[in-house]
Structure 1
């Protein structure tokens, strides 16, 4: 009887024990799979953090280079430092003699994602500030270029000599004392006549006494005149820059030989061109 009853009594216990072991094994398998998944995620996250740290390091290096570039541009363009104050975010150590392969610094300040995000926010703000500085620098340099171009200086000819000064002189036609409201530069007929500053042509044609005349307005109340030309190469309304060829030297009008009669006017009144010529 016992032999008959025992299998019947043991069967459920054996089945339940086997089932429990299977559940344990299944749980262990699932746990290992989840652990492997977590390890994979951890490795991926770690790789992303390293990549982010390297990217931050690269951006910081480029930020330093932008600081140095801004300083060099300000120094090279001779812009007043008070007009453009560079707010650098890195040390002032020179980068003119630096190099080597890039290697990200140890992640001392980027050990957590939160700290990395804070660094990125600061870096983005730094780049925004640099962008505003560079835009200001571009405007200042453009203004400086415009001022330099409109700055009256130099002679209206490439080759030649000063043949007559400004003020009282003996008139070459009458032999009497007269006023000369400009200076004369003699040279070879047909040689180039240049503008002495940027501006707009306001006269290009014949005028009594001047012969073939070119007149250029430079703004700020200043105007220059170039007289006695054999040919005129510009027209009224043309925009010219400093050094442009506007005419060919000649002896038209009230002239005794090939030369350029050069005048500088301030608010419509002739002034001595000498201070502008020898700037």
Structure 2
């Protein structure tokens, strides 16, 4: 006969029902209840630990992705810089070839014997694989390509040093033969128009105050042709403060001419021009009050009065 510790009576459908658990059943019930109470406290640390590790993994993945994105961006920037370097090398090679042509033309015009001045030796020409044209701007794919470009840059530097020595020699030969390039300077830089402002002191057209005018102005119709007054090489073609669109031509012997305020420029740096070539269109760019050509003559870098050259 089993012992009962207590008895519970329930009213079910109007009839009394008694429940008297045995000690064993009561112990099992208490154990189950205790397990339910203890389980959350026992599982919580494990759940929290797992969640913490997941957060660490997610953070590590994010950092890894950021680093990968940074590497991709760096690679793209290096790719772009290498492409620009290759393009710049090509431009330098083209300019080098252009300098050769300019030197040869100057030798021909000065009647100097080719035996006295060799513009480019066969060895010079063979030292550059692509001396006849620009280097392809295809992107470098490895360190060998970069090393090749650095080697080409070194060769270009040597080639420009050679050209500098050759041009120095040409200058000496021209002086020895009494080739006076300044004598080529003559006439006006325009076909139609009038002298609107002379050389020297004048009133500034903007401020009305006394100022120095380092050239002469020829006014005319906008868009009319601007001519070079002597043969030479274009040393500047572009915008410059005060001058607007400016063309500068070197004639040798220390003489240079400038043509300012143009609306358009038809030549580029390195172009060889002869007397009377159209180099620009008259305009009013820069510090100007109307369509005209600001014309300067420089001797050894210093402006001189152009009048003796204009009217001779």
Q: TM-score range by the shorter chain?
A: 0.3 to 0.5
* TM score, norm. by length of structure 1: 0.47
